[in-house]
Structure 1
Amino acid sequence: MKTSIVILTYNKLDFTKQCIESIREYTVDGTYELIVVDNCSNDGTVEWLKEQNDIKVIYNQENLGFPKGCNQGIEISTGDNILLLNNDVIVTKNWLSNLNTALYSSDDIGAVGPVTNSASYYTAISTNYKSLSEMHDFAKSFNQSNPEEWEYRLKLIGYCMLIKREVIDKIGMLDEIFTPGNFEDDDYSFRILQAGFKLLLCKDTFIHHYGGASFGENIEKYADVLKRNGIKFEEKWGFMPSYSTYIRNEVINLIDSPQDQPINVLEIGCACGGTLLKIKSKYKHANLYGIEFNESASLIASQFADVKAQDAEKEMDYPTDYFDYIILADVLEHLYNPWQVMKNIRNHLKDNGKVLISIPNVMHFSLLRSVINGNWTYTDSGLLDRTHVRFFTLNEINKMLTEAEYSNIEYNATTVAKKREDEEFIQSLTRLSAPSMESQYNAYQYIIKATKNDVNMKLKRKLQIIEGKLNSGDVDKATIELSGMEQFSSDEIIENICKHLKKKVEILNLIAINNFGQGLFDEVLPYLEKAFELNKDDSDTLYNIIFVLNSLGESKLALEYFRLSKVKDQELISLYQGIQQHSPIYNLLMNLDENPNDMEAKNQLVSIIREDDSLVCELKEIIKYCFDSKTQFLTLVDEYVMNLEQ
């Protein structure tokens, strides 16, 4: 098998020499042919190329640009594969054999590319070598062929792109409308996908890339070409790759399922599906779904996922309780009613399924500074663009998710580099608000994971049924509906009662008494205490809490609740009388009620009061609620107190 390596040159002879010498050193003889297309160099490149015996060379009389030059090289190539390679690259040990192994690992792989130290679209890795010698040592240990390190991609970068000839035969040459260069590799990648092939980034293969050799000396020219070709690409494809191919690694990292577990993932606003494709590389058994309003972008994502081109704010045609994860990366701020969308998608999540969200923070210091200076600057992307219709702070995000009944909400934040004046501005803001707000001024974007907890939904529905029975006056049926409540904790039940029901106090009492009747004594007082907190004058609550406390041996605390009640009806008084019948003071007063001249009873009463004069109030309370001869007894007690004071 032979690979045709096509290299374009335009000056930069030193780069070209290093590149070709590295190919000769680190590529097996007989497995490749070298083709150089020179775009009218004037720095000695042409003369050097004429001295080389192992290179096919095309000498252009003018600079025809990258796409046209590559096409010239492809036309004269004879290899089974074509490798487009920048001349500012240094290849390394095992580079081409590794790439070929990946390219021919499956019939549907159309093209592959390596990782490097400097390139766009997530192809650069962290390196710390300081010389070419150290670089080659690094690459020698790095370049170990490993299918686990192959990652599906939407596009490959043209600095090093290995393509099967059958793919080129099927889709044709590079599109020369992108002359002099930029976006031709994006265009080629999407054409490969459109033809039914896949792209692989080989993260088991590293080469060195100086980067920017072609345009590095003229930044303005580069920016102008980039802008013009970006417009051409969008006109051709209907979307911009810089926006529609993002891989949201910070969102993907929130997925916490085992990598060998089948998962169903839906991304709302999936664009071309870069994030979904990365998930598929990491989770081999993932089932991918997407919603994308841009039909052109959705057609690309449809190559590897089940994608619908529809409006996310309308009813979604997916099964209920189906998805393990639903992703909304920079989507909610574009919706007119994100609050309703968060409620709607909840129905399509499995129990304990999760939403993974990224959303810009309108409290970021850069936006606040613009606003207080009278500006509201829109950008094409980032924190604020013209397509945003809703704006969120951390509190508003939390409110939206809690109202939609998500739980276990976890927040992370991305930040951007700050200058000294930024730090000073943030400190000024914290002085105006609070030190705890500093993190919110620093947060550029919030990254959020929240869980659908169906336990709360089931509990809410059950409580609503119970309330409905009470509304119809059927207490017995309401009590029957309490069956099965043991699966929920008292905290969950109380929280849901307070959050969702109108007859809060009545239902809290109903559950408490039912639990008491079943001997669940630890599951009684929390409900009654919450009911008392909600309405301290409810006679049923007071009766129940006093009765329960007394039954549990807490008669002293029960009597405290009696004293707290402002309105004491006859049932409450009768309960109080029943409790006091076991009191020594009550029994002494009973004796005196029957025999006012019982001196022994009088002396015992005096002795009790002398030992604890605080019992005078209790004594008067017992007389007030337990005896008819109130005046006589109260006069008697006052006399005892007077004698004690003397």
Structure 2
Amino acid sequence: MTENLITYIDNTQNTIKLSGDTLFEARKSMSDIHYQVNKSYVSIMVIAYNRLEKTKRCIESIIENTIDIDYELVLIDNGSTDGTMDYLKGIKYENKKIISINKNAGLPFALTINSIIELGKYFILVPNDVIVTPNWLKNMLLCAQSDDKIGMVCATSSNVSNFQEVKMDFVDYNDMMEKARNYNQSDPSKWQERLRLITILTLLKKEAILAVGYPFFDCGFYHDFGDDDLSFRIRRAGYKAVLAGDVWIYHDHDYRNFEDKKEEDYLHALEVGSKNFQEKYHSIDAWEDVNNYLLDTTDFIRKTREKKNIKILGIDVKCGTPILDIKNKIRKFGRYDAKLSAFTQDARYQTDLKTICEDIVVCDRQEFLRDNLPENFYDYIVMGHPVNMYNEPQKILNDVFCLAKKGAQIIIPLYNTFSLYEYLNILGDRSIYNTSLAYNISMEFMKTMLEKHCQIDGITMKQYKLSASDIAYIRNSVEKNKLTNECLQRLMTEIFWFVITKNY
């Protein structure tokens, strides 16, 4: 018979009462109450499952590069069989806690071992295949503390997707550390607000964890897409998810070549995770509805002459990545006062647009665009839907120009109606047919029309995503018909992006 155990929490020294008139103030006050129980400012958790040499490099890098910051190490052996537990016991760091799990039941199970009150004001989960670098935690804390509404901060790294990767060449460990030291100089202009983040190295505020619930990973996403789910829950609780572009760490995992995984298992996990995500978020696709980055199109964004309160409008930009792209771009000009608005025809996107927009968010039909938004008001406008796919392309363009200030920049996508699909179909390959409906407006006609009313700052091309076999097939067809490389580039273009300045 097992005797009942009583857990005592000593909070006799607590001098703080739960208070605050806003959600954020109340959550922060509870975080402060927790801090008086658990005196650690930052809790750094490393979960290790075998790969002992990687675990050693990871923990040694934390101890070596985390200086003048109060932190505790929470070390979890998640069922290792390679001597990991003996190594953890021998680590010479006073403020550490070791937890041993007999059998690996996955990351979500390991995260449930600690109670939330045992975590510090800031919590960081460090995978054991990560090597942290000088100033890593200092810079992440500076970012998190710069805004009460930042709840989640991720570092850039090697070997990561979602445009979070920074290429850094080095010859050995010492060279890597020296280059990382030079790179990791605090710079707020490099902080990027994002809709979703890959959580290779993630800092979470205690109050954000209190809002989304602990454990913060939904065990329903043990397959994949846990990163996407956490990003969405953080934002929908009212917080921002930020990529700290002034922090680089090394991720010692070659995910592109399926290290430690079979390709079929990896693809199956993605398929199941994507399906589960869409079920939870009512048909929102974490990739198709979020990964619509402007990429090199933002190279043509210039600094506005507006002295304060920059206004950015997104029209049919899905969950909103294009307007965040512009906001992040103008941060590089030292402008941190941008306010976002959005117009969408799809009600699915309203909730996520409201998580990033401080101004108007409207859901209505395209013909009512001007009825819902102020005229001559916006400094930047980006359209997410190709102009020649609207019912009335000329009307939508007229409306957009009316909403823009004189001197405003406007980004307009045009669907390529004579791409490789049309080309191959004309040649007789009836198995290839483009089902997209768009008015046949050529890039040249669009350019000529726009030049009458505005200055064209740049044109970029978004290429179709094709497999190696598809590209080889197309090249073979092109060579047979003696087309130039320029023609090939045009055929492989899905969208032309026009960046223009309104002159009137």
Distance 1:326 1:30, change over 3 A: closer
CA deviation after TM superposition for structure 1 residue 356, in Å: 0.7
Q: Counterparts in 2 of 1:362-373, with a 5 A limit?
A: 362-365=417-420, 368-369=423-424, 372=427, 373=429
Aligned to 1:448: 498
1:292 to 325, 336, 344: 344
Q: Report how many aligned residue pairs link the two structures.
A: 443
- Structure 2 length normalisation: TM-score? 0.78
Give, in whole Å, the separation in 2 of the partners of 1:129 and 1:107.
37
Aligned to 2:41: 2
Is 1:326–2:372 an aligned residue pair? no
Q: Which moved more, 1:339-348 or 1:99-108?
A: 339-348
Give, in whole Å, the separation in 2 of the partners of 1:5 and 1:178.
24
Per-residue displacement from partner, 1:525-552 (whole Å, max 9, x unpaired)? Answer: xxxxxxxxxxxxxxxxxxxxxxxxxxxx
Decide whether the 8 Å contact of 1:115 with 1:203 is kept in 2. yes
Is 1:187–2:229 an aligned residue pair? yes
Aligned to 2:399: 344
Distance 1:342 1:226, change over 3 A: same
Give, in whole Å, the separation in 2 of the partners of 1:84 and 1:219.
26
CA deviation after TM superposition for structure 1 residue 50, in Å: 4.3
Is 1:27–2:66 an aligned residue pair? yes
1:375 to 412, 431, 436: 431
Distance 1:259 1:12, change over 3 A: farther
2:186 to 121, 145, 151: 145
Aligned to 1:230: 274
Give, in whole Å, the separation in 1 of the partners of 2:44 and 2:438.
51
1:158 to 185, 191, 199: 199
Aligned to 1:60: 101
Decide whether the 8 Å contact of 2:343 with 2:369 is kept in 1. no
Structure 2: 5+ residue stretches without partners: 1-39
Give 1:188's aligned amino acid. L
CA deviation after TM superposition for structure 1 residue 71, in Å: 3.5
Give, in whole Å, the separation in 2 of the partners of 1:375 and 1:122.
34
Aligned to 2:327: 280
Give, in whole Å, the separation in 1 of the partners of 2:297 and 2:442.
17
Give, in whole Å, the separation in 1 of the partners of 2:183 and 2:306.
25
Give, in whole Å, the separation in 2 of the partners of 1:62 and 1:435.
57
Aligned to 1:307: 361
Decide whether the 8 Å contact of 1:269 with 1:291 is kept in 2. yes
Aligned to 2:287: 242
Q: Counterparts in 2 of 1:38-187, with a 5 A limit?
A: 38-52=77-91, 54=93, 55-73=96-114, 75=116, 77-173=118-214, 174-187=216-229
CA deviation after TM superposition for structure 1 residue 354, in Å: 3.9
Identical aligned residues as a percent: 25
Aligned to 1:255: 301
Q: Which has the larger radius of gyration?
A: 1
Distance 1:280 1:430, change over 3 A: same
Distance 1:133 1:235, change over 3 A: same
- Of structures 1 and 2, the one scoring higher in RCO (CA 8 A, sep 6+) is 2
Q: Which moved more, 1:399-408 or 1:118-127?
A: 399-408
SS of 2:366's partner is: coil
Give, in whole Å, the separation in 2 of the partners of 1:347 and 1:94.
47
Give, in whole Å, the separation in 2 of the partners of 1:318 and 1:23.
50
Aligned to 2:26: none
CA deviation after TM superposition for structure 1 residue 331, in Å: 3.7
SS of 1:135's partner is: helix
Give, in whole Å, the separation in 1 of the partners of 2:103 and 2:242.
34
Q: Which moved more, 1:31-40 or 1:137-146?
A: 31-40
Structure 1: 5+ residue stretches without partners: 378-383, 455-646
CA deviation after TM superposition for structure 1 residue 47, in Å: 4.2
Decide whether the 8 Å contact of 2:170 with 2:176 is kept in 1. yes
CA deviation after TM superposition for structure 1 residue 12, in Å: 1.9
Give 1:204's aligned amino acid. D
Give 2:72's aligned amino acid. E
CA deviation after TM superposition for structure 1 residue 392, in Å: 5.0
CA deviation after TM superposition for structure 1 residue 64, in Å: 2.4
Aligned to 2:445: 398
SS of 1:389's partner is: coil
CA deviation after TM superposition for structure 1 residue 8, in Å: 2.2
Aligned to 2:238: 196
SS of 1:243's partner is: coil
CA deviation after TM superposition for structure 1 residue 172, in Å: 0.7
CA deviation after TM superposition for structure 1 residue 220, in Å: 1.5
Q: Which moved more, 1:207-216 or 1:89-98?
A: 207-216
Is 1:217–2:261 an aligned residue pair? yes
Is 1:425–2:477 an aligned residue pair? yes
Decide whether the 8 Å contact of 2:408 with 2:501 is kept in 1. yes
SS of 2:391's partner is: coil
Decide whether the 8 Å contact of 2:323 with 2:382 is kept in 1. no
Give, in whole Å, the separation in 1 of the partners of 2:172 and 2:485.
46
Decide whether the 8 Å contact of 1:215 with 1:222 is kept in 2. no
Decide whether the 8 Å contact of 2:224 with 2:273 is kept in 1. yes
Decide whether the 8 Å contact of 1:70 with 1:84 is kept in 2. no
Give, in whole Å, the separation in 2 of the partners of 1:217 and 1:232.
21
Give, in whole Å, the separation in 1 of the partners of 2:401 and 2:276.
40
SS of 1:241's partner is: coil
- Structure 1 length normalisation: TM-score? 0.62
SS of 1:253's partner is: helix
Give, in whole Å, the separation in 1 of the partners of 2:307 and 2:476.
48
Give, in whole Å, the separation in 2 of the partners of 1:221 and 1:50.
34
CA deviation after TM superposition for structure 1 residue 364, in Å: 3.5
Give 2:366's aligned amino acid. A
CA deviation after TM superposition for structure 1 residue 5, in Å: 1.1
CA deviation after TM superposition for structure 1 residue 28, in Å: 2.4
Give 1:374's aligned amino acid. R
CA deviation after TM superposition for structure 1 residue 399, in Å: 4.4
Is 1:36–2:75 an aligned residue pair? yes
Give 1:133's aligned amino acid. N
Decide whether the 8 Å contact of 1:6 with 1:73 is kept in 2. no
Distance 1:403 1:205, change over 3 A: closer
Give, in whole Å, the separation in 2 of the partners of 1:234 and 1:358.
27
SS of 1:256's partner is: coil
Per-residue displacement from partner, 1:176-228 (whole Å, max 9, x unpaired)? Answer: 34342432222222222222222222111111112357964222212111211
Give 2:297's aligned amino acid. V
Per-residue displacement from partner, 1:101-152 (whole Å, max 9, x unpaired)? Answer: 2211232221212111221222111222243222111101111122232222
Decide whether the 8 Å contact of 1:268 with 1:290 is kept in 2. yes
Greater helix percent: which structure? 1
Distance 1:120 1:330, change over 3 A: farther
Give 1:229's aligned amino acid. G
